[in-house]
Amino acid sequence: MNAQDLSAFPMALQGDNVPMVSFKNVTKSYGSLVVLDALDLDVAEGEMVTIIGPSGSGKTTVLRMLMTLETINEGVIYVDGEPLTHMPNGNGLVPANRSHLRKMRSKIGMCFQHFNLFPHMTALENCMEGPVHVLGLSKKEARERSEELLALVGMAEKRDQHPSRLSGGQQQRVAIARAMAMRPKVMLFDEVTSALDPEVIGEVTNVIRKLVAEHNLTMLMVTHQMGFAKDISDRVCFFYGGRIEEQGTPDELFGNPRRERTQQFLSAVKEAV
């Protein structure tokens, strides 16, 4: 990777209304394939932003870069005002070291399309794993916190089951509780209902609705469920070819899309339903 010129990027975002998440001129490519093309994206604290778009448009990549699962080729991502994978050094930014990365990661939680629960742990143990072994909470505290969250997602009764005994919808709800147990400021949801049978999608979307209503979380969600996106988001971003083709409130974007590609995508999605 070429060392990029970072002098144009501030060491931290300051002032009023610093966004919780801020992509500044972020580019990601695999070889010659540009997946994110000079992306600028701000998400305010407490905001729920949904990303929609055709397959391969870079939606998952946005979330994975925020979770530090992918490296960044160009640009800087800021979370809570601080650079995510860079850190200040003297009067410039340099690639972050391990302890900076760990500090920044603690602000972010992620739920995956295929849940990725730890199969060798029960639902409760999955939720307690991070609090005990990362945050250093006592078993008792971690258990209380986890049981509360399992109750919130409606999984209190299944807390002693291993994931292999749970349905997809149940596993996903445990996965949400597991991520929440780390008390992140930003939650990322990557197509969390795509691997589910239609009849259980509602139990997961209802949990997300509850989180939106009861917690002041900043959320970034990738979904193919336009109806859900429409009634839950503060803002919807339509991605196309690694860029934001169009964004706006759900009413604007779904009710009155201005760009041709957005219109095409939305009518294609409507037909598929």
Partner 1 sequence: MSYLEFLGQYGDRILSGTLVTIVLTVLAAVLAVAIAVAAGLMRLSRNALIRGVATVYIEIFRGTSLLVQLYWIFFVLPLFGITLEKFTAGFVAVGMNLGAYGAELVRGAILSVPKGQWEAALALNMSPAKRMYRVILPQAVLIMLPPWGNLLIELLKGTALVSLIAVADLMFQVKQINGTTFLSAQSFGTALIIYYVLARFLLTPFMRWLERFMQRKLGRA
Ligand X SMILES: Nc1ncnc2c1ncn2[C@@H]1O[C@H](COP(=O)(O)OP(=O)(O)OP(=O)(O)O)[C@@H](O)[C@H]1O
Among 89, 92, 97, 102, which residue interacts with partner 1 (rule: CB under 8 A)? 102
Q: Kindly indicate which of the ranges 46-54, 122-130, 215-223, 240-248 contains the residues binding partner 1, using the contact rule CB under 8 A.
A: 122-130
Among the residue ranges 29-37, 140-148, 203-211, 248-256, the one whose residues contact ligand X (CB under 6 A): 29-37
Under rule CB under 8 A, residue 48 binds partner 1? no
Residue 223, interface with Mg ion (CB under 5 A)? Answer: no
Q: Check binding of 196 to ligand X (CB under 6 A).
A: no
Q: Which pair of structure tokens corresponds to residue 153?
A: 């997602």
| Contact yes or no for 117/163 (Cβ under 8 A) | yes
Question: Rule CB under 6 A: is residue 56 a binding residue for ligand X?
Answer: yes
Q: How far is the CB of 82 from ligand X (least distance, A)?
A: 24
Instruction: Please compute, for residue 56, the number of CA atoms within 13 A of its CA located in the half-sphere on the CB side.
Output: 4
Candidate ranges 6-14, 27-35, 125-133, 201-209; the one touching partner 1 (CB under 8 A): 125-133
Rounded to 5 degrees, what are φ and ψ at 271? -65, -35
Among 22, 50, 60, 171, binds Mg ion (CB under 5 A): 60
50 near ligand X (CB under 6 A): no
Helix/strand/coil percentages in the chain, nearest 5: 40, 25, 35
Closest C-alpha among 124, 154, 158, 159 to residue 142: 124
For residue 2, the tally of other CB atoms under 10 A from its CB is 6
- Sequence-separated contacts (24+) of 27-33 with Cβ below 8 Å: 27/72, 27/73, 27/74, 27/75, 28/58, 28/61, 28/65, 28/70, 28/72, 28/73, 28/242, 29/73
Determine if 60 is a binding residue for ligand X (CB under 6 A).
Answer: yes
Tokens of 80: 């809570």
Closer by beta carbon to ligand X, 35 or else 137: 35
Nearer Cβ to ligand X (35/150): 35
Secondary structure (DSSP) of 145-165:
HHHHHHHHTT-GGGTTS-GGG
Q: How far is the CB of 146 from partner 1 (least distance, A)?
A: 13
Residue 118 touching ligand X (CB under 6 A): no
Interface contacts to partner 1, rule CB under 8 A: 67-69, 102, 105-106, 108-110, 112, 114, 116-122, 129-130, 133-134, 162-165, 175, 178-179, 182
Interface contacts to Mg ion, rule CB under 5 A: 60
